[in-house]
A and B are shown apart, each in its own frame.
Chain A
Amino acid sequence: MSNELTWVVGGQQGEGIDTTGEILASALNRLGYYIYGYRTFGSRIKGGHTNYRIRIAQRPVYGIAPQIDVLIAFDQDSINRLAGEMAPGGVVVFNGKGGRGKLPPGVEGVRLIEVPMVDLARELGNPIMKNMVGVGVSAALLGLAPEDIEPIIDERFAGKGGKLVEANKTALRRGYDAALQALGEADGHLHLAPADGRRRYLMTGDEAAAFGALVAGCRLVAAYPITPASEIMHWLVKKLPQYGGVVVQSEDEIAAISTVIGAGYAGVRALTSTSGPGFSLMQEALGYAGMIEAPCVIVNVQRAGPSTGMPTKHEQSDLFEMVMGSHGDLPRIVLAPVTIEDCFYGAVDAFNLADRYQTPVILALDLALGLAKQTVEGIDFERVRIDRGAVALPDDLNWEGGDFKRYRFTDTGISPRSLPGMPGGLHLATGLEHDETGHITEDRGNRVRMMQKRLRKFTQVDGVEAVRYEGPEQPEVLLVGWGASYGALREAREILTERGVATGHAHIRLLAPFPAGPVAELLGRARHVIVAENNAQGQLAALMRQHIDSADKARLRTLNKYDGTLFLPAEIVEPVLAAVSPMAASAKEVG
């Protein structure tokens, strides 16, 4: 019996491979297992390899595991690609269109069995049901009962008629029986130890962020479709109308952010979601929102760049652009959720910060955070507070006519805003430099004071978690990261700790304004600092160097992965061990 294993289904895109993964993931979730589900796909709709990977555990898991225990392969291509990752004692189940499956040379200790999944489905009248046969096969391998899966089938096909539900259940049973026959009792080691059956939730980061936005009071979404961010719009378009909210599919990203700025200026919490190329298009408008001090939230679900790069591959390489993009001295807030669950809270924070600081807030997700599915223990809705920031009260307004000081110089730099429709609140909102009333001016004194006013708002962004630290008080090694690498870094810390290296893990959540104080404090405690991130230039490391002093700078090493995939824990553990060994004292860079 296993406490943890990884199951993968592989095949051609457009064949419903995802459905296979999702049905199994839902069933496992209901049984009380912790899940981390990750899709590998290419930038085409039909054809080409795709796989859905589920790490199944008895404890929370935040990332992928290095080895596959069960592979359901619908084609030889999937075997060729994935067999090298098989764990000793693992099982590959094969059935493609004709021919027998072959394990590539050099793959040993792995069992290949053939189950006629496609033929069984065809016999039942619909070859696409091979996916459900595959789920049945998986249930048998993992030691689940068909009854564990059936309720999911009921729900998933509810709207499509009883016939389809029954057909799918039959397919499930056929797969289950066929696998039992083919396997015999021998593979019981793959059976999962029973889970606690507690109710938990399975969601992607995109869904969590969208849900957070809804709960935070977002009522307008304007976006242009892009991988891997579209799911945010898709989720919200199903929900917002029930709350009197609207979703606009814009003609492009410039329009999307402009609509959001218009809505934010007029007093509605609004969001746009995008990824790299779209975010680049938004840069001019970003500065504009900062200048007219209009709240807006931009979710940037990063993918591999530059340019259109690798649309379906994970990367964390927009940090420079998020933190520094757009012309001029533009203060902005950039928040990077730490986990999928945190995408929910991050979205809530983003809306509150946008209103409080009257500024664009960028919620930085990455492809792995956005699209991976993970078990979420629960959401604490009591924690959600809606803070609309400083809106002018009737007494503040100029009832006598004349101009309202929308950009009033205040100690905090935050000026109460009036919203269209408020008598006495008339003003000009312009991207040109302006005075307290909004009128255009290039007066030198005003320029300096207005710039300082805007900057003052960001001297301290409070009320949000800036850095998440896990580990001992005095670590020998400090691992630093951001975004979806949390899982790998967390496990690397556990492994290093087991091996006797006192390791701490700091995950930076607030990227701008940079929490220099707390970060410097953490760096000061450790002998070795390793910054691990999924980009080639070490963008977080560069940002840290900008904000820390030279002694800490000298100790900082970087670990970069930019092949489109997530870190595996071992890819962090090994270089760290090499770096901290006395022999490697002179090594400057890792990886």
Chain B
Amino acid sequence: MAHSNTSGPVGRRKVGRAGGRRRPSWGRALSERRRQGLAAWLFALPFLLVFGFFMLVPLVSSFLMSFTDFRATDVQSPLSVSFVGLSQYGDLFGDAQFRKAMLNTALVVVVGIPLTMAIALALAVALNSGITRFRTAYRVGFYTPVVTSIVAVAVVWRFILQPDGLLNTMLGWVGISGPDWLHSTTWALPSLIGMTAWRNMGTLMVIFLAGLQNVPPELHEAATMDGADAWQRFRRITVPLLRPTLLLGAVLLSVAYLQFFEESFVMTQGGPLDSTLSVSYFTYNQFGFGKYGYASAASYVLFTVIAALSMIQFRLLRSKD
């Protein structure tokens, strides 16, 4: 109702403005545009003040710091800081601990993303395959780890992963004697990757489920008629149609997993012997040692990787859709 009432005046007004464009309303149109611009910036101002102060200023100062030998002690007298150019970026790649952190972060990404996506996709497909009973219960269950605090969850997982904890007790039933997961240089990182997948699969499952609901069921029915089995239907129909959703999942997970930190912080403190040290953790530690410039350089290496990878993924997302 409101639409039909108002569309008239809008049309008439536009005609009127176009007709009188020559003389007086040229100035008025300009001032109206200017007024809208002013209104826009005034509306944006509260956000920009907070965002600028708490996000952009730290972001820029960190960037500048990465070219200086800024240390914690220089906070009082910033003038004593000297410019060192790119040398700290060079130092990073000669730093064995940083290389270890890069390697661990890469492992989290390379192993964690496919693992999380595969589990989430399998669950989403299962939930979407004509299962109606208990569907909400399943969905709620799988999503629960997402809403829980890592600090609290860590307490439980430390118990589960103990040498005589739940996991090893269960493995014992099938005759496997499990390791001391969190204190083994071999197993600590895989344990944390598994836990990360456990915490994140719910989010992805929900996204994949939404994507699956856009796959028209007729396509599957037609393929079934032509004699395609479930696996062929999945490979040839579901996966191609789900591609944009899968890529979105990959983008979200890479931004999250490249920043891998909290699991390691609350479970292993980066140990044993740096086996769970990530780039974020390395940066955090360097800050802790007061080496602000060096830490900033490390954090910008991470930022560059995340930005580059996201760009590539977004490009894929766009071209395939």
Judge: A and B partners, yes or no.
no
Give B contacts to A, CB under 8 Å: none
